[in-house]
Amino acid sequence: MAERQLVVYRDSDTIAQAGAQRTLLAILDALSAQPQPARFDLALTGGSDSLKALSYMASNPLTEVIDWSRVHIWWGDERFVAADDEDRNALQARRRFLDALISDGRLPAANIHEMPADTRSPEQVAADAAASDAGDDTANDALLDAAAQQYERELVAELGEQPVFNLLILGMGPDGHYASLFPGHTEINITDRLTVGVNHSPKMPPLRLSLTAPLLARSRRTWFFTAGAAKADAIAQVFAKPDNPAYPSSFAAGTEEFIWFTTADAVEKVL
């Protein structure tokens, strides 16, 4: 595994601008290598820092020279809500950047690999939520597992039994979670699946899908975009002890490169 690097920027906006530039250069450099690879697989996350970076990508002239037909987009996690729900990571990414690439023909729609959306009626969602509140998670758990297995099949079909991303972009919450792997939840310990359903998320919405820690750690390059003093305690714990379930981000890794792009106040307890 690659040694962790720390890059400290002035503020979250600088992280987003630099992250956008670095991401586009990583794609361009990889696709320009000789012999040329067939594709570049980029896994995205949600969160304000990462979404801001997507907005900067949209206005960056490097987008004009990338062969987007060879780029495939994945997600590290997703809120299990309707496809048109504003909470959905994929919808936010589409609006910020991806739909523009599709509309002008640069990025094939088939190259966007969204996690499954919730297709239930509002009435059924409410009924299943009421059952969950009463202690019966049968319906929600079955639904999440089916959706997780569906995404797992897509990963295997595209990338083989041991999928590897060229670049994985992550964020971290003040509690130390990444993707939708939360402290106090058992999903961080799952090693025999590529994807997993997450019920009773401590952050709304309560139903989510996530890639598992072993898959996330196999990425060739892994970058965290994490800013702000609210993250300082968690970053200190993550850096202090690897593979600590109390701080799931400590499981993250990259086989060739592992960088945290952050701000001084976020790492004041580790510098």
Structural domains in the chain plus CATH codes:
4-117+144-266 (3.40.50.1360)
Question: With pLDDT > 90 as the criterion, what percentage of the chain qualifies?
Answer: 97
Residue 183 has pLDDT above 90, yes or no: yes
Q: Kindly indicate the confidence band of residue 58, based on its pLDDT and cuts at 50, 70 and 90.
A: very high
Residue pair 224/188 in contact (Cβ under 8 Å)? The answer is no
**Structure token digits, residue 153:** 């099949």
Residue 33 CA, chain-centre distance (Å), reads 25
Neighbours of 121 (CB within 10 A): 10
Task: Tell me the per-residue pLDDT of 16-33, one tens digit each, with 9 for 90 and over.
Answer: 999 999 999 999 999 999
Burial class (CB in 10 A: 0-12, 13-18, 19+), 62: middle
- Of the candidates 261, 251, 263, which has an alpha carbon nearest to the alpha carbon of residue 211? 251
- The residue with tokens 């597992």 is 145
**Structure token digits, residue 39:** 């594709």
Nearest-angstrom CA–CA distance, 142 and 164: 27
pLDDT confidence of residue 249: 99
Helix (H) or strand (E) holding 58: helix 48-58
pLDDT confidence of residue 97: 97
pLDDT confidence of residue 176: 98
Residue 48 has pLDDT above 90, yes or no: no
- Of the candidates 239, 232, 234, which has an alpha carbon nearest to the alpha carbon of residue 258? 239
Indicate the DSSP class of residue 202: S
pLDDT confidence of residue 36: 86
- The residue with tokens 């970053």 is 235
Task: Tell me the per-residue pLDDT of 123-171, one tens digit each, with 9 for 90 and over.
Answer: 999 999 999 999 999 999 999 999 999 999 999 999 999 999 999 999 9
pLDDT confidence of residue 269: 95
Nearest-angstrom CA–CA distance, 166 and 178: 18
pLDDT confidence of residue 47: 85
Amino acid identity, position 152: E
Task: Tell me the per-residue pLDDT of 194-238, one tens digit each, with 9 for 90 and over.
Answer: 999 999 999 999 999 999 999 999 999 999 999 999 999 999 999
Residue 49 has pLDDT above 90, yes or no: no
**Structure token digits, residue 262:** 């952050």
Nearest-angstrom CA–CA distance, 123 and 120: 8
Nearest-angstrom CA–CA distance, 246 and 182: 8
- The residue with tokens 């966007």 is 112
* Sign of the C-alpha dihedral computed for residues 268, 5, 52 and 248 taken in this order: negative
**Structure token digits, residue 29:** 């450099």
Neighbours of 170 (CB within 10 A): 24
Nearest-angstrom CA–CA distance, 239 and 55: 29
